[in-house]
Amino acid sequence: MADVNRGNRPLSPHLQVYRLPLAAVTSIMTRITGHALVAGIVLIVWWLVAAVSSGGAFAVADWVVRSWLGFIILTGSMWALWFHLLAGVRHLLYDAGHLLGIKESERASQVLIVGSVVLALLTLVIFFMF
């Protein structure tokens, strides 16, 4: 192998130097939210199983679901569901050949973030109004 002086320059861009595009960040967040949805699903399934098991088991599960921790988990899961759904729609548009330009992809990622937050807040407002 040739004697190459590699000490003067980095071998690859690092996160301190290179900033990920917003489309890459939202793609990573889609994978994270997909896995995070499991927390909400586990909590809801536990609550439902406890409801058919016994009164004592349901009282414990219901207390956890109605606690601040349960509220945070379920609210986060609800936002993750909206985010994951909108990211899936964006991915379908990508597959159809739309939004593939840099500017369009950046705009789609912004709409994804804002849309998921707005839909989550709208869901909370509707939930607490009725």
Mean pLDDT of the chain: 91
Query: Considering the domain boundaries, does residue 2 fall inside one?
Result: no
Total domain count, the chain: 1
Query: Considering the domain boundaries, does residue 39 fall inside one?
Result: yes
Give the E-state strand segments of 1-130 in sequence order. none
Query: Considering the domain boundaries, does residue 69 fall inside one?
Result: yes
Report pLDDT for 4.
62
Average pLDDT over residues 48-59: 97
**What range defines the domain where residue 54 resides?**
22-129
Report pLDDT for 57.
97
CATH number of residue 71's parent domain? 1.20.1300.10
**CB contact set of 42 (below 8 Å; sequence gap of 6+):** none
Query: Considering the domain boundaries, does residue 4 fall inside one?
Result: no
Give SS3 for 15: coil
Query: Considering the domain boundaries, does residue 92 fall inside one?
Result: yes
Average pLDDT over residues 56-81: 96
Residue 3: band (very low, low, confident or very high) from pLDDT cuts 50, 70, 90: low
Cα distances (Å, whole numbers) of residue 38 to 76, 115, 121: 11, 22, 21
Is 84 annotated to bind ligand? yes
Query: Considering the domain boundaries, does residue 112 fall inside one?
Result: yes
Report pLDDT for 19.
83
Query: Considering the domain boundaries, does residue 17 fall inside one?
Result: no
Nearest to 87 by CA among 102, 60, 108: 108
Query: Considering the domain boundaries, does residue 73 fall inside one?
Result: yes
How does pLDDT run across 69-122, given as a tens digit for each residue? 999 999 999 999 999 999 999 999 999 999 999 999 999 999 999 999 999 999
